[in-house]
Amino acid sequence: MSPHDPHNDKQGIRQRKVDHIDLCTREDVEQRLTTTLLEEVTLLHRSLPELAVEEIDLGADLWGRRLKAPLCVSGMTGGAEAAQRINLELAKVAQRFGLAFGVGSQRAMLIDPALRDTYAVREVAPDILLLGNIGLVQAAQTPVDKVRELVRAIEADALCVHLNPAQEMIQAGGDRDFRGGVETFKRLVGELGIPIIAKETGCGIAPQTARQLAEAGVSWVDVSGAGGTTWVGVEALRAKPGRREVGEDYWEWGVPTAASVLFARREGLQVIASGGLRNSYECARALALGASLCSMALPFLRAVQESPEAAEAFATRLIDGLQVAMTLTGSRTLADLQRAPRLHGPNLRRWEELE
């Protein structure tokens, strides 16, 4: 890792973070044709639910933290001054509503420890389930003790290790050596002493990847499936002519979110569903497929850029909507929702046939 590599220097990383925030706020960065396939999951309506809304329990216990709802504000930023405000405001929302919260890639902290403050949210959110974040390529190159320091520096409860080869292939100066990923997960699981979450970044989890992760000892995966924000597309928008066209070619790349959840559950992995989730019904569908948490980035980012109140209103809408889904399926608990009758459409069934 050369100190003169613009992909890794302090200014280059800061500018990239600012670009990502700006593009995701202003531009169309979602896939245009690919869907999450959550629309092919139909939950059966119960006209006689035989429960009161006050009986519904949306809560979940994870890694010593109590969530009031199975929702996570996904890791999206850090490493720049603009990111600090976003992280603080969204962490306050997570604290108020009892949600999980993730920071963006802490790669910038590896380069410049002084950027810790752009990720530090414990002062405003002492009770949240907080997820750290580091890229798999960086984790492979970093001693376990130093990775552990990244987690402890922000007082995170668990660490997301993100997989983003598609994004890196389009990003100017992006990583090109993806060897040793499985061994890195084995090392982190065996030595870090902190819960590890394998986190994709918009391209989903295929059956082979789910098996590799399970065999490496990983227990949790954030599937971040196709159908929502495309980081290939984000980097295409940042790229120079030539590379931009390559990014356009692969704009729709990935495994849909619904299929990714099913593949991960089939391997016995615990799942955070993300990638294109935009409302409570989509969250309910993902939970019914077996996810333990639903995570969103773009809707919260755009809401908080409007105002903190808009972000709170979005969180309220999600929680209220989940109560609707639970009521209309006769589900008192999330476990009940996972047992609720449902139908899968033909496209999702085709994906389920993959091994």
pLDDT, tens only, 14-62:
787 788 888 888 888 999 999 999 999 999 999 999 999 999 999 999 9
pTM for the full predicted model: 0.95
Nearest by Cα to 141 from 104, 179, 115: 179
The tally of CA atoms less than 13 A away on the side-chain side of residue 109 is 27
**C-alpha R_g of the chain:** 19
Max intra-chain CA distance, the chain? 66
pLDDT band at 1 (very low <50, low <70, confident <90, very high): very low
Going by their DSSP bridges, the two strands 65-67 and 342-344 should be labelled as: unpaired
pLDDT band at 3 (very low <50, low <70, confident <90, very high): very low
Evaluate whether 71 touches 82 at the Cβ level (below 8 Å): no
Residues 6+ apart with CB under 8 A from 240: 172
Percent of the chain with pLDDT over 90: 88
Residue 221 has pLDDT above 50, yes or no: yes
Phi, psi of 72 (to 5 degrees): -135, 135
Compute the average pLDDT of residues 250-263: 98
Determine the straight-line distance between the first and last CA of the chain, rounded to whole angstroms.
Answer: 37
pLDDT, tens only, 150-161:
999 999 999 999
| Mean of per-residue pLDDT scores for the chain | 94
How many whole angstroms separate alpha carbon 69 and alpha carbon 53? Answer: 14
Domains of the chain in start order, with CATH, are: 51-352 (3.20.20.70)
Compute the average pLDDT of residues 259-276: 98
Percent of the chain with pLDDT over 70: 96
Determine the 3-state secondary structure of 304 from DSSP. Answer: helix
